[in-house]
Structure 1
Amino acid sequence: MADLTKEYDRGADLETLNAASLPMTSVPTPPSPGGMVSKSGVDTQHIHALNLPLAQVQAKMTGAVSALGGEPLALSTIAIQAALYHLKAEGQQVRARIALGACRALNVETTDAVTLAAAIELLHNASLVHDDLQDRDPERRGQKTVWSKYGDNTAICVGDLLLSCSYGMLAQYRDASVLGALVALMHTRTAQAVRGQNADLVFQNKTLPDLNIYKQIVIAKSGALLSLPLELALIAGGHSASCKTALKAAQAFSMGYQIIDDLDDYQSDQLRATAKVLNVLQVLNGANSILTAQAQARQLAREHLLESMGLADTLPMGSGSLLVQIAKKLLARLE
């Protein structure tokens, strides 16, 4: 599984979207002349418009890892140091933003919303550490990746540590009546993401046989952890019946996003010295020219993003509005 100086994490990376710039409404806010725009085309002028408690999320994450120190052997703290090093480069915390925005729309108390967001971000960062190791990516977010700075074995331990911390964080959720459902859901989505990453690794240095296999891999490794913020918020807000819709919306979004990223990265993917990476043009270019394949890919991305928007817009109390806004920004790139 992987995210968004690397900013792109194969199949799971959205950090370049700067999602906090988007208002919690189904109407997009136009960029101002002085606004900053990320490489994904998302205006970042109003990045703090929602006043989401992201600083609290970051503090809970680093606090959870720091609290694990104090063992008698100094060497046993290396994984903790490496985990804090990784978390120091915060990224854009897109999944936390989606969770916090949905929780706010659903009237979930801030304390619980921060807990859910921190759990999701810890889980996501665990996947990034392992993904960087498997892909041998030397940098992420403008600094060395954990494996390139501390070694492979420490990176494995750090990923495991952050994964464990994510469940420990979720255990802090205050409503015991839904805690079991939250834990079960996080386990299910984590397992799906792991299966997707494993399938991606299986097809390294191989040509994907068809578009259906590509879709299965993307939906598993990316859609699962994009759906989780919405689903956890819906359960917490008493709208668990809408989780299926949230999952479908996130899966469709993950397909649209991944295809656009594939289009952007096709040339660099071809030049990679390491194993062949997942790219939709591997499939579409089989019986077509590259120009035809690119046109087909753009149309597929458009269809999936429109599907995602339609589904997210039906989620209760505007809880899917942020996902709608991100999808709209991505659609604009296809014009």
Structure 2
Amino acid sequence: MLSFKQAFLEVEKFIAEADFSGNPTELYDPISYSMNLGGKRVRPATLLMVADIFEANKLDALHAAMGVEVFHNFTLVHDDIMDEAPLRRGQDTVYKKWNRDIAILSGDVMFVKAVDYFLKLQPAEKMGRVLRVFNKTAAEVCDGQQMDMNFETTEEVSIPQYLRMIELKTAVLLAASLKIGAIIGKASEEDADNIYEFGKNVGIAFQLQDDYLDAYADPRSFGKRVGGDIIANKKTYLLLEAMNLANEEQKLELKSCLDGELSDDDKVNRVKAVYDQLKIPQLSQLKMKTYFDRGMEALTKVNVAQEKKQPLMDIAEELMYRNI
């Protein structure tokens, strides 16, 4: 049984040994740069863990894990272009270090390279199943990104719409990574589907946790400014739930904060005061737990020994309850 730490180190080693070089160098250097910026490697590492549970070929598992991680980093390169973000993991983004056009093209090549890794899988029947999961997921991630962009200019966003957006933008890639790990092993179709449901629901819970931590994390351990989503008027679960539950006075206060010319600290403090009145932190954690428990229930249905599933449960709980 692989622990998350063991799987993480295997992914890091495989990335370090990968050759992304090519000509023209302006096109390929950003790929190596992006892949070596670091990160939690949650998706490829958990893919390796699932593949190990279902006794997959080790090299197949590493190729699939690399395909997932290259695709994930492709989405980050393009996200940074859309957001005009200068930093990623404390370093210049590809968009900032080179330029917009190079970042677009390098990202495009990363997508191709992700598919190339999946094409290494054997036998062909499993490769085909994996590619069908990957292609569906890649389109869904783009759907989720477009929904998120649409929300910026949409006056009314419902909570079900928001939950669907984070499912597509964030959760399905984790879910697909786990399912791919099951497919390349000896998992039944039912077990592969249940492992997907585990990843999807836990992925939604993780994103809800991020929404919560952005407003309520300990600033000393959070790693970025607390309240960034509030400052940016981002439609998070917390804000949408607050607008649903607020009375007229509270709605006016929230709208005044969102539309007014306040200092960042004043804006964050006033919005959080309304959240506290409405018990939004507690409701947010309850919603997180609902999805997390749903994911854990799906994992219990996977037909392997409990000790084999325990490392997945452990890392899910570790990520879920970070910095609360």
| TM-score bracket relative to the smaller structure | 0.7 to 0.9
Work out whether 1:279 is the aligned partner of 2:279. Answer: no
Give runs of aligned pairs for residues 68-217 of structure 1, distance below 5 A.
Answer: 69-70=22-23, 76-217=24-165
Q: Displacement of 1:24 after TM fit? A: 5.2
Matched to 1:324, the amino acid is M
Q: Displacement of 1:84 after TM fit? A: 1.2
Indicate conservation of the 8 Å contact 1:230/1:320, yes or no.
no
* Residue 199 to residue 59, structure 1, CA distance change in 2 (3 Å): same
* Residue 139 to residue 236, structure 1, CA distance change in 2 (3 Å): same
- What SS does the corresponding residue of 1:91 show, helix, strand or coil? coil
Matched to 1:255, the amino acid is I
Superposed CA offset, 1:21-78 (max 9, x none): xx858xxxxxxxxxxxxxxxxxxxxx74568522443046x42x22xx14xxxxx331
* Residue 171 to residue 217, structure 1, CA distance change in 2 (3 Å): same
RMSD (CA atoms): 2.3
Matched to 1:304, the amino acid is Y
* Residue 229 to residue 331, structure 1, CA distance change in 2 (3 Å): closer
Indicate conservation of the 8 Å contact 1:312/1:321, yes or no.
no
- What SS does the corresponding residue of 1:317 show, helix, strand or coil? coil
Indicate conservation of the 8 Å contact 1:257/1:330, yes or no.
yes
Superposed CA offset, 1:263-316 (max 9, x none): 1213211223xxx43411121110334122222111101111111122123324
Partner of 2:11: 54
Indicate conservation of the 8 Å contact 2:175/2:203, yes or no.
no
Q: Displacement of 1:333 after TM fit? A: 4.9
* Residue 77 to residue 160, structure 1, CA distance change in 2 (3 Å): same
Distance, in Å, in 2 between the alignment partners of 1:168 and 1:269 is 37
Q: Displacement of 1:83 after TM fit? A: 1.3
Work out whether 1:260 is the aligned partner of 2:247. Answer: no
Matched to 1:57, the amino acid is F
What is the total number of aligned residue pairs between the two structures? 280
Query: Quick one: which of 157, 163, 166 aligns to 1:218?
Result: 166
Indicate conservation of the 8 Å contact 1:99/1:113, yes or no.
yes
Identify which of structures 1 and 2 has the higher relative contact order when contacts are C-alpha pairs closer than 8 Å and 6+ apart. 1
Work out whether 1:312 is the aligned partner of 2:261. Answer: no
- Of Structure 1 and Structure 2, which has the larger fraction of its residues in helix? 2
* Residue 204 to residue 56, structure 1, CA distance change in 2 (3 Å): same
Distance, in Å, in 1 between the alignment partners of 2:234 and 2:98 is 25
Distance, in Å, in 1 between the alignment partners of 2:309 and 2:153 is 37
Distance, in Å, in 1 between the alignment partners of 2:318 and 2:126 is 34
Q: Larger radius of gyration, structure 1 or 2? A: 2
Matched to 1:298, the amino acid is Q
Q: Structure 1 stretches of 5 or more lacking a match? A: 1-22, 26-46, 71-75
Distance, in Å, in 1 between the alignment partners of 2:323 and 2:111 is 36
Partner of 1:294: 281
Superposed CA offset, 1:106-127 (max 9, x none): 1112111111111111111111
Distance, in Å, in 1 between the alignment partners of 2:302 and 2:16 is 30
Partner of 2:318: 329
Indicate conservation of the 8 Å contact 1:298/1:334, yes or no.
no
Superposed CA offset, 1:85-136 (max 9, x none): 1112121211111011111111112111111111111111111111111122
Under a length normalisation based on structure 2, what TM-score does the superposition of the two structures give?
0.79
Q: Displacement of 1:234 after TM fit? A: 1.2
- What SS does the corresponding residue of 2:304 show, helix, strand or coil? helix
Q: Give the fraction of aligned pairs with identical amino acids, expressed as a percent.
A: 21
- What SS does the corresponding residue of 2:120 show, helix, strand or coil? coil
Under a length normalisation based on structure 1, what TM-score does the superposition of the two structures give?
0.77
Distance, in Å, in 2 between the alignment partners of 1:196 and 1:51 is 27
Distance, in Å, in 2 between the alignment partners of 1:207 and 1:253 is 29
Matched to 2:314, the amino acid is Q
Partner of 1:42: none
* Residue 144 to residue 97, structure 1, CA distance change in 2 (3 Å): same
Query: Quick one: which of 167, 181, 202 aligns to 1:233?
Result: 181
* Residue 260 to residue 155, structure 1, CA distance change in 2 (3 Å): same
Distance, in Å, in 1 between the alignment partners of 2:196 and 2:171 is 8
Superposed CA offset, 1:236-259 (max 9, x none): 113233232222222211221111
Q: Displacement of 1:262 after TM fit? A: 0.6
